[in-house]
Each structure stands twice: as structure tokens, then as C-alpha cells.
Amino acid sequence: MRPAAASMAATDVDPSRLEAAKSRLVELVAGRGRSGGAGRGGVYTLELDSGDTREHSKVPHLTQSVTSNPDGSILVAVTMNRQSFQEVFLTTDLFEWKPLKMDLEGMANDFTPFRIAGDYVYARTQYGDAIDAPTHIVRYKISTGKWEDVFEIGFASVSSVAIGDDGELDRVQWVDGEPKIAVLDKSDKVSQVVSAFARSYEGFNISVVNQTDDEKQVLLHVSSGAHAGEYFLFDFETRKARFLISMRENIDGNELSPLEDATFVASDGVRIPGWFMAPKGVELPPLVVYIHGGPHGPYNEYSFNTRWHLLNEMGYAVYAPNFRGSGGYGPRFEQSGYGLWGTRMIDDMYEGVQALIDAGKVNPDRVCAFGGSYGGYGTAQSLVRHNDFYKCGVVIAGVFDFKVMMKLTDIADTYMGDNFMAKVIGEDPELLRSISPQENIDKIKAPMLILHGEEDERTPFKDAVKFVEALKEQDKRFEYKWYPKEGHGNVNIENRVDEWQRIQAFFYENL
């Protein structure tokens, strides 16, 4: 469960791209505190040779992120005001910030700036009012103050956008059921190489990792849902690619199951993306519903996921839904989950499983929920809301009582975080009671495995202890394990091994 409004942030400036003669890096330093004035930060320059800093201006409102052009002369700040509404500001002189608003008809004003190149600010947004509206790449021309729609991706997640030094779009890569690529500048030699790799490695993500200063060689990463990834060095002079290293050379990706597109249309007509991975050689396998954390911002990506493969190796199919509220698919889709953490979002997961059952891919009588952070909450709430369906649930670092969560979580340590939680979860006491598993234990029928770190400040440990005590009082079936000196998820390798041994044994007994 991430704090969408962090107390500190830094610009996207890459120090290696700055001119050595200027010897300075623009940086955002945001203040801390839950009330007004202490929360604003400033824009500073840091002299790299001496370490001296100098403040140039205050940033507007409470700033979440700042994007800069390579030399730091143009900045775009994404902020959140007192009502927890996102605003975007632009400055070209480090002093005067002016609002940057979307004026393209039909485009969502909650756009996401991601690059400043040449005379343009590039951003992602959605076109149309629908929750599952297509994503577009748009840009703002600084010199004229005009917006322009430059590329439609569709209802899909963006992987990479390459922009030339002239500010023009070179290529766009995205995932729509599988990785896709569009090359807009046919003369761009890096795009030519990426496109060639994409043709050779169908169904793989092709990423540009780096390029030599003389632009004679480019480092590429090639990966998929079944392959952890390999690195290649392409030489433009010889026109040859050389294999460098495999990320997990002892794992043969050809023996692992690939990811399948599991997008379905929910009962209210909204498309819900997701992924399905079936274990090899198992007919109508039992299913584990993998619920991602966040929930706003993160999403289940088209990538190699160790947990999914571990579950596959145990004999379980995996369904990884990107329920509404997930990131990756545009602001309208993400915001559509606000206030629906324990209701419609939970139903999206359930309906996704029903679609797999209807397709004859999994055993309808052997389905278990699994997740950490919001995924842990989603698991517990699934056992409350759909208590006659799920056979068990694994809850890692979960949330059980939103009254406790909103008082003790470290997200609430900042004014922005406090407001953000109230906005995306809700404040009505009856709503919080109705979506808190702690208040609905009597509805839980399936056994649970609860794993939690004793020093977890994100999803407070006290909340988990209170939930376990209530389970005992109501004579529910459950197992639990507390991990000393662990925070929001286990880091110690021995604890991680213990965690997975417990998960395997729990699934074997209940699924």
C-alpha cells in the first residue's frame, strides 16, 4: 500500500545527462508536516564540485513530483492542493510557476507529465469519459502554449516512449494483450534496432537500458512473462548483437508457462485487464487469485513474476487482475476505484475468476485469494464479501480495520497522505465499518493464513494482532506468523523462505 503523496520527492533529472561545465543538479526538497506551510518545498541547485546549495524558488502547493529537462531550466511540478486534487505547474525561469491545464477537447485533465524534450512537455492521459477510455500521448508546446494529440495507444499500459533531442516522438511501446511497438521516426537507428528485436522476439518486452556516449553501441534488455531477461549489446558499426548475460541463467524460460491475456468485460460493461498463467500438465488446475498492492498506481505488469512461477511450480494456476483503481491504464481507470476499495474492486476480482471458470480454464471449486498490503486486505475482504466462493486466503501485511489503519499508518504522517487516504478510501464511519474485515468476521467461512512483520508501519502490526484475537474469539480457522524485526514485507532471506514454506503447506492442505 504505497503513499501516493510522499513527503519528499526528487526531480527526474539524470545527473549523467547534465553538461559537465554547468556542474549542477536541480533538485526538489519537500517539507514535512501535516499542516499548511511546513509542507511546501523549494527548488535548489547543487554545485557538484563544492556541495553548496542555493534555493531559487518555492514549489507550488504540496508537490508530489517534478520533471525537468536535461539542463534543469524547465520544470513541471505535479502537486496536490488542500482538497487533494491534482494540479500541474510549469516554470521556465525557476521563479514564476504557471498552471498547466489540459484544453484538448475530450482529454482528461488529470494527465501525467513524463518528459520535457526540446520545446515540448509530453504527458499521458485518456480520451473520453469512459473508465476504460483509450490512453493517448499528448504534448504541450511551451513556446506557443498549445496542446497537441500525438499518438493513441488504446486501453493499454505504456511500456516506453522514446523522444529525440529535437523533441519529436521516435517510438512508442505498450502492452495490449502482448507487447507492441510503433516506430514514428524511421530514421532513428535505435528504434530500428528495437523494432528488429521485437520482430525476432515475439511476445517479449524489448527495453533500451543505455547507450554509449559516442552512440556506437546500445544496451538492450529482452524479457517476457516466462523469461526473466537477457542483456544484449548491439554495435551499430558491425550491425551485430552480442549476448552479454542472463538474469537467471539457471532457469530455462522455455520450460515455464507464458502469460495469457485475461481481459474480460465486467457486469457493468467496463473492461478489466489481467493475466492468467496455467501450470503445465495440470487439467482444470486449482486457482490462486494474486491481488496486487497499492492499490492506486501499482498494477500487475506483463513481466517475469517470481511469485507467480512459484505458485505455478506448486501446481496452481494464477490469475492476476488489474481491477479498476489499478495504475497503468490511465487516470480515469485509476480514479474509478476511489471509494470502492472493499466493494466494486473486490467484485472485479471475483468476476474475473468467473470468466476463467466459464472459459473452462480452472477448477471452480478450488479457488484461493492471495496478496500483500492492499492485496492482503483484498484477500481478507474477498473472504467476507464472497464467502461462499473462496476456499482459503493468504494475507501478507494486510489491513483489517480502516479506523485503526487511518490513525496509525505512516501514510498519515503527512498532510498530503492524510488527505489522500480520506479521498480514495472514504471517511464515512459506516462505510469504513462495512468494508473492514475486522467488523465482519462473522461472515468469514474459509481458513486464512496471516503473515505480518512486527515493525510494519504501513499496515500497522497492532491491527493484525487485534484481528487475530478476534478470529480466536469467534473460533475461526486460521494460522498466523509474526516476523520480528520485519517491516512492510519480509526482507530477511530466512524469513522469506519460512513465509513460502508456510504458504505451500497452507495451500496443500486447503486448496
Report pLDDT digits (tens) over 424-460. 888 899 999 999 999 999 999 999 999 999 999 889 9
Q: Residue 251 and residue 1: Cα distance in Å, rounded? A: 31
Q: Are strands 274-277 and 287-291 parallel, antiparallel or unpaired?
A: unpaired
Q: Are residues 320 and 240 in the same domain?
A: no
Q: Are residues 401 and 457 in the same domain?
A: yes
Say which amino acid occupies 241: A
Q: Are residues 350 and 480 in the same domain?
A: yes
CB 495 within 8 A of CB 503: no
- Residue 103's alpha-carbon distances to 92, 115, 132, 138, 315, in angstroms, are 20, 19, 21, 11, 51
Residue 438 forms part of a structural domain: yes
Closest CA to 312 of 222, 204, 205, 225: 225
- Which of 251, 268, 288 marks a domain boundary? 251
Residue 172 forms part of a structural domain: no
The secondary structure of 96-120 as a DSSP string is --EE----STTB-S--EEEEEETTE
pLDDT at 40: 58
Q: Residue 205 and residue 175: Cα distance in Å, rounded? A: 9
Closest CA to 439 of 488, 368, 385: 385
Closest CA to 396 of 279, 498, 474, 302: 498
Q: Are residues 327 and 422 in the same domain?
A: yes
Residue 171's Cβ-side half-sphere holds a number of Cα atoms within 13 Å equal to 23
| Torsion of the alpha carbons at 8, 12, 15 and 18, rounded to the nearest 10 | -130
CB 41 within 8 A of CB 58: yes
What is the per-residue pLDDT across 53-77, written as a single tens digit (0 to 9) for each? Answer: 877 777 776 777 788 888 778 889 8
Q: What is the CATH number of the domain that holds 339?
A: 3.40.50.1820
Residue 91 forms part of a structural domain: no
Residue 357 forms part of a structural domain: yes
Say which amino acid occupies 462: K
Residue 115 forms part of a structural domain: no
Residues of the chain with pLDDT under 50: 1-38, 415
Sign of CA dihedral 480, 486, 488, 490: negative
Q: Are residues 416 and 432 in the same domain?
A: yes
- Which of 195, 216, 251 marks a domain boundary? 251
pLDDT at 41: 67
Identify the domain containing residue 400 by its residue range: 253-510
Residue 25 forms part of a structural domain: no
Read off the pTM: 0.88
* Residue given cell 534488455 in the structure block: 221
Instruction: Give the SS3 label for residue 88.
Output: strand
Residue 269 forms part of a structural domain: yes
Q: Are residues 265 and 404 in the same domain?
A: yes
Q: Residue 510 and residue 230: Cα distance in Å, rounded? A: 37
Radius of gyration of the CA atoms of the chain, in A: 24
Q: Residue 247 and residue 264: Cα distance in Å, rounded? A: 33
Q: Are residues 349 and 313 in the same domain?
A: yes
Q: Residue 459 and residue 378: Cα distance in Å, rounded? A: 13
pLDDT at 500: 97
Residue 84 forms part of a structural domain: no
- Which of 214, 236, 251 marks a domain boundary? 251
Instruction: Give the SS3 label for residue 340.
Output: coil
pLDDT at 93: 82
Q: What does the longest C-alpha to C-alpha distance in the chain come to?
A: 72
Q: Are residues 225 and 259 in the same domain?
A: no
| Torsion of the alpha carbons at 71, 185, 65 and 73, rounded to the nearest 10 | 20
- Residue 288's alpha-carbon distances to 245, 279, 373, in angstroms, are 32, 11, 17
Q: Are residues 218 and 352 in the same domain?
A: no
Q: Are residues 298 and 321 in the same domain?
A: yes
CB 245 within 8 A of CB 231: yes
Q: Are residues 382 and 314 in the same domain?
A: yes
When divided into structural domains, the chain yields a total of 2
Q: Are residues 226 and 349 in the same domain?
A: no
495: which 3 cell numbers? 524469513
Say which amino acid occupies 192: Q
